[in-house]
Amino acid sequence: MKYLKILLLLSLLILIIAPISSCGGGGGGGQITIHGRIVNESSTPLAKGNYSIQGSGVIGDITADGRFAAASGEPAGRLILTNSTSGFRFRRVPFDTAGEGTLDLGDVTLPNDSLSKGWGAYRDGNLTAAESYFAAHISASGRDIKDAKNGLGWTLAKLGRQEEAFQPLLDALGSGFDPEIRTALAMAYFQRTAKDVYSIPQAISNVDLAVNADGFYLSKPLHDDISEDDLIAFRAMLNLLDNRTAAAAADRNTVLGRTNPRLNRASEDLLQVVDFFLSH
Amino acid sequence: MKKLLPLILTFLFLLLLPSSIFGGNIPSSNGYFAGAGLIQNETIVALADDISFGKAVGQGSFAGAKIINSYAPMHLLRLDYPYRSAASDTPFRRACLQSSGQISPNFMRYAHLTPDDPRFGSQTYLKPIKAPEAWDLFRGDASVTVALIDTGIDIDHPDLQANIIGGTNLRPGEDSNDYNDPHGHGTAVAGIIGATTNNSEGIAGICWNVRLLIIRVLGGEDLTTTLFEEAAAIDYAIAHGARVINMSFGGPGTSSAEQKAIEKAKQAGVIMVASAGNNGVYGDLQTAPEGLNYPAAYPDVIGVGALKSDLYKADFSNYGVDQCEFVTVGVSVYTTLPRGIGDISGPILIGREYGWATGTSFAAPQVTALTALLIMKEPWLTAGQIKDRLKANAGGLGGPDADGDGVDDYFGYGLIKCDYTLADSPVGNNGAIKAGVFPSPVFPERVYVYVQTLKKIDSGSLAIIGLPESGPALTAEVRSLETGDYIGSLIWPATLGQLRIEIKASNGGVEYPRLLATYKP
């Protein structure tokens, strides 16, 4: 009977402790909370609308008065705020807290300007319009010039004009969007393969930089769904093309060795080709 | 009646109209002509002798179309102009005719690869399954072991010995190291799968290169074995690395020992192929279980029935899809036979080193060989994917599919097609060209083709052509990589559907066999 009481007490203790520990979150890396308020061009809070908030490991919400609070398990990354109620309003805010704590972004303007329109057109696949909007934004020397150059670079690369894409992409480096810029540069260098045999090592080096960047993340609403695993699969192909079969095999094994590799359809096909050449 | 005469004449005229006008030689707009090699964007014009050819070439274009190439002795111009347009009444056509130009389409011409094995011509069963066409795509690379559970093999046969990796004899009371074939059945099966090919000797195996693992269990006057030896043989094959097992034997009744061995093989990813049997009976798991022949009728074993050379069902072949999923020609199959053992009564006509064999026993190895080729080419495929690939590319026999399930009682999923089965893949290797098609992980409409050739092309050409399901072919931009390989890129919107890639190369005056690959966006 005595032992039964002890057992019951222990069970009760476990029931109390378990929820606390399971809600405790990630642990390990520092957790930060980013907050601020979303406003329009005239500093009026954008209280209503179809908001979304995303980012590097970001979980958050936007309240009725436009205030947002987002928790991120990443020490650095990008917070992506969109509002698509009346025209596509969009802003990506890079953050770097260098540790735990709270980051107050204050008022974050989501103007319905050419940058927002550019990313909106890009998202909708209207690349010609996107190019015009981004170019207009850069000419007007508006806010977030580097993001506009980033957008212009991606747009030009997608249009197959990779030679023109290099400069805006290189200009956009250091803007807080480096992993995705490196991804676009890698693709542009790979495309350049058609003209310059020395571009593959540069493509590989840019994939390295993208993969190794802290909190790799491509803003999903804008770009195709590209994960870190996709990039490593792509690097496997690049290594194969560069006759570095051991590195290609290592990349292939890295991806396929993961329990649930996050690969898009293109990467699955690509790995199949890599595997074929490695095994033949 | 007189009033009706004009109507009747008009009706008859209209009946004739399609063949005389619409039938013609104008290519249809479907993908067939693309696949048949029409170069969609080109037209050849032969100028009359009295036209100044040099002057025409000097202008760089003719009738508004850019001149791609010219050949003065025959006054031939190769123009960048779609033949489909040139064939109808267009300003281009009129301009050509004014200059007495004769308009014709430009078609691709392909090297016809034929192995040099002197008895290849007798292997007529290879034609319906499109084995020669498949060899343009892939010929086997000896990376796969095929186990033959049979009567053994003539171990010193000049057309087989190079592909034999070893074996055993599991017949009770016999020497386990003696897997020589005293009967002929196993040797005949082996030649179909893996006779050494292009060796100026004998016949061609469907797999030019393969590793044959021989397990002798059949024997005695009636070439029999028991489930006990069969189960042990399957287990031996698994233990010795076989990826495919050919079982050209069978009988009624199931047993747990046999099922256990088959389940073990399935778990090991081994594909099992068996002959449907020669009793000419129908079998069905639900309605006619008494007609079923095992192991062919096990769900995890691919059962194969036999056709005659006219592609009608062979009378002796068992049928019903539960035991006959695919068919191939199984009558008068020319193959290897053991040397110097004299005649044996029965279906095999012994004739020194080569001869004819008849039975579903010799239909099954054709499916076994194709399965082995597919695994060599795409080793990542699972057993289910392999079977799906065989199913998707077989067919062409039987009447209307009444219930729409794609399966016929007599022919199952139909006659296997080696070329379609192997080409239904984004990768390919025909010995001279190796290629893989892959999309950009970032830009969905961009498709790349990576090509390795036997040696760097120093005096020749490489063309990568995209053939859509319909519409004009596209030519990829091809560049040489520092490694000596090549890469081509194409813009291929998903709306164009499945992409068939054709790669053609020549080097030093030698035209390589073309390579086909398929990419499904």
Same domain, A131 and A156: yes
Query: How far is the CA of A223 from the CAs of A71, A145, A181, A188, in angstroms?
Result: 23, 19, 12, 15
B480 contacts in chain A (CB < 8 Å):
197
Inter-chain CB proximity A276 and B427 less than 8 Å: yes
A216 contacts in chain B (CB < 8 Å):
none
Q: Give the model's pLDDT for residue A38.
A: 78
Q: What is the CATH number of the domain that holds A243?
A: 1.25.40.10
Quote the CA–CA distance of B214 and A200 in Å, as a whole number.
47
Q: Which CATH number fits domain B427-519: 3.40.309.10, 2.60.40.1260, 2.60.40.3340, 2.60.40.10?
A: 2.60.40.3340
Quote the CA–CA distance of B211 and B224 in Å, as a whole number.
25
Does the pLDDT at position B482 exceed 90? no
Does the pLDDT at position B16 exceed 90? no
> If DSSP states are collapsed to H, E and C, what string results for B304-354?
EEEECCCCCECCCCCECCCCCCEEEECCCEEEECCCCCCCCCCCCCCCCCE
Same domain, A119 and A105: no
Last residue of a domain, one of A85, A109, A133: A109
Most confidently modeled range among B22-26, B363-367, B397-401, B510-514: B363-367
In terms of CA atoms, which chain A residue is nearest residue B438? Answer: A270
Does the pLDDT at position B390 exceed 60? yes
In terms of CA atoms, which chain A residue is nearest residue B482? Answer: A197
- Decide if A114 contacts A133 (C-beta within 8 A): yes
Task: Mark whether B185 is an active-site residue.
Answer: yes
Last residue of a domain, one of A109, A132, A151: A109
Domain assignment of residue A45, yes or no? yes
B437 contacts in chain A (CB < 8 Å):
269, 273
Task: Mark whether B300 is an active-site residue.
Answer: no
Q: Testing the interface with B: which of A225, A226, A275, A276 to mutate, by most B Cβ within 10 A?
A: A276
A279 contacts in chain B (CB < 8 Å):
143, 379
For A273, the closest of B141, B438, B477 (CB atoms) is B438
Same domain, A195 and A90: no
CA angle in degrees (0–180, nearest 5) for A148-A202-A270: 90
Same domain, A135 and A244: yes
Same domain, A99 and A61: yes
Inter-chain CB proximity B441 and A226 less than 8 Å: yes
For B442, the closest of A160, A226, A275 (CB atoms) is A226
Binned at pLDDT 50, 70 and 90, residue B392 comes out as confident
What residues does each domain of chain B span?
31-107, 140-423, 427-519
Q: Give the model's pLDDT for residue B369.
A: 98
Mean pLDDT of chain B: 83
Which residues constitute the domain of residue A219? Answer: 114-279
Does the pLDDT at position B202 exceed 80? yes
DSSP B457: -
**Sole residue written with tokens 């004299």:** B342
ipTM surpasses cut 0.95: no
Same domain, A184 and A79: no
Q: Could you give the number of structural domains in chain A?
A: 2
B481 contacts in chain A (CB < 8 Å):
193, 197, 200, 241
Beta bridge partners of B470: B30
Quote the CA–CA distance of B129 and B123 in Å, as a whole number.
11
Sign (positive or negative) of CA dihedral B282, B287, B290, B296: positive
Same domain, A212 and A141: yes
Does the pLDDT at position B386 exceed 60? yes
For A266, the closest of B441, B450, B482 (CB atoms) is B441
Quote the CA–CA distance of B486 and B450 in Å, as a whole number.
6
Binned at pLDDT 50, 70 and 90, residue A60 comes out as low
Chain B residues with at least one Cβ partner in A under 8 Å = 141, 143, 377-380, 426-427, 429, 434, 436-444, 446, 450, 452, 477, 479-483, 485, 487, 489, 491, 519
Binned at pLDDT 50, 70 and 90, residue B8 comes out as very low
Domain assignment of residue A25, yes or no? no
Q: Give the model's pLDDT for residue A97.
A: 60
**Shortest alpha-carbon distance between residue A247 and chain B (Å):** 15
Domain assignment of residue A199, yes or no? yes
For A234, the closest of B441, B444, B479 (CB atoms) is B441
Binned at pLDDT 50, 70 and 90, residue B301 comes out as very high
Q: Give the model's pLDDT for residue A72.
A: 66
A269 contacts in chain B (CB < 8 Å):
426, 437-439, 519
Domain assignment of residue A84, yes or no? yes
Q: Give the model's pLDDT for residue A108.
A: 81
Does the pLDDT at position B43 exceed 90? no
**Shortest alpha-carbon distance between residue A148 and chain B (Å):** 19
Last residue of a domain, one of A90, A109, A128: A109
Inter-chain CB proximity A272 and B426 less than 8 Å: yes
Q: Give the model's pLDDT for residue A190.
A: 87
pTM attached to this predicted model: 0.59
For A197, the closest of B438, B477, B482 (CB atoms) is B482
Q: Hey, is B108 helix, strand or coil? A: coil
For B141, the closest of A198, A234, A280 (CB atoms) is A280
In terms of CA atoms, which chain A residue is nearest residue B489? Answer: A194
Within a 10 A sphere around the Cβ of B267, how many other Cβ atoms? 10
Binned at pLDDT 50, 70 and 90, residue A222 comes out as low
Within a 10 A sphere around the Cβ of B494, how many other Cβ atoms? 11
Q: Which CATH number fits domain B140-423: 3.40.190.170, 3.40.50.720, 1.20.58.220, 3.40.50.200?
A: 3.40.50.200
Residue (of B151, B158, B275, B138) closest to B207 by Cα position: B138
Q: Which residue of the set B117, B136, B150, B424 is catalytic?
A: B150
Does the pLDDT at position A11 exceed 60? no
Same domain, A103 and A191: no
**Shortest alpha-carbon distance between residue A35 and chain B (Å):** 32
Q: Hey, is A129 helix, strand or coil? A: helix
Q: DSSP states of A140-200 as a string? A: TT-S-HHHHHHHHHHHHHHTT-HHHHHHHHHHHTTSS-HHHHHHHHHHHHHHHTTT-TTHH
Task: Mark whether B154 is an active-site residue.
Answer: no
Binned at pLDDT 50, 70 and 90, residue A214 comes out as low
Inter-chain CB proximity B480 and A194 less than 8 Å: no
Does the pLDDT at position A5 exceed 70? no
Residue A111, Cα to own-chain centre: how many angstroms?
A: 22
How large is the greatest C-alpha to C-alpha distance in chain A, in angstroms? 84
Same domain, A139 and A81: no
Binned at pLDDT 50, 70 and 90, residue B342 comes out as very low
Chain A residues with at least one Cβ partner in B under 8 Å = 157-158, 160, 183-184, 187, 191, 193-195, 197-198, 200, 223-224, 226, 230-231, 233-234, 237, 240-243, 264-267, 269-270, 272-277, 279-280
Inter-chain CB proximity A277 and B443 less than 8 Å: no
Which residues, other chains included, contact B506 with Cβ-Cβ below 8 Å and sequence gap of 6+?
Answer: B457, B460, B461, B512
Does the pLDDT at position B511 exceed 90? no
CB pairs under 8 A between A and B: 95
Topology adopted by domain B31-107: Alpha-Beta Plaits (3.30.70)
Same domain, A231 and A166: yes
Same domain, A148 and A243: yes
Does the pLDDT at position B211 exceed 90? yes
In terms of CA atoms, which chain A residue is nearest residue B518? Answer: A269
Domain assignment of residue A6, yes or no? no
Tokens of B184: 């002929």
Domain assignment of residue A22, yes or no? no
B489 contacts in chain A (CB < 8 Å):
191, 194
Q: Which residue of the set B181, B361, B408, B419 is catalytic?
A: B361
Inter-chain CB proximity B485 and A241 less than 8 Å: yes
Inter-chain CB proximity B444 and A266 less than 8 Å: yes
In terms of CA atoms, which chain B residue is nearest residue A270? Answer: B438
Determine the average pLDDT of the residues in B252-263: 92
Domain assignment of residue A10, yes or no? no
B141 contacts in chain A (CB < 8 Å):
280
Q: Which residue of the set B185, B317, B408, B419 is catalytic?
A: B185
Range with the poorest average pLDDT among A35-44, B297-306, B398-407: B398-407
Range with the poorest average pLDDT among A59-73, A99-113, A177-191, B168-182: A59-73
Domain assignment of residue A4, yes or no? no
Does the pLDDT at position A9 exceed 70? no
B483 contacts in chain A (CB < 8 Å):
241-243
Select the more confidently predicted residue: B127 or B492: B127
Rg (CA), chain A: 23
Inter-chain CB proximity A277 and B434 less than 8 Å: yes
Inter-chain CB proximity A272 and B487 less than 8 Å: no
Same domain, A71 and A129: no
Sign (positive or negative) of CA dihedral B62, B66, B71, B72: positive
Q: What is the CATH number of the domain that holds A48?
A: 2.60.40.2070
**Shortest alpha-carbon distance between residue A267 and chain B (Å):** 6
Angle, in degrees to the nearest 10, between helices A127-139 and A145-158 = 150
Binned at pLDDT 50, 70 and 90, residue B449 comes out as very high
A194 contacts in chain B (CB < 8 Å):
477, 479, 487, 489
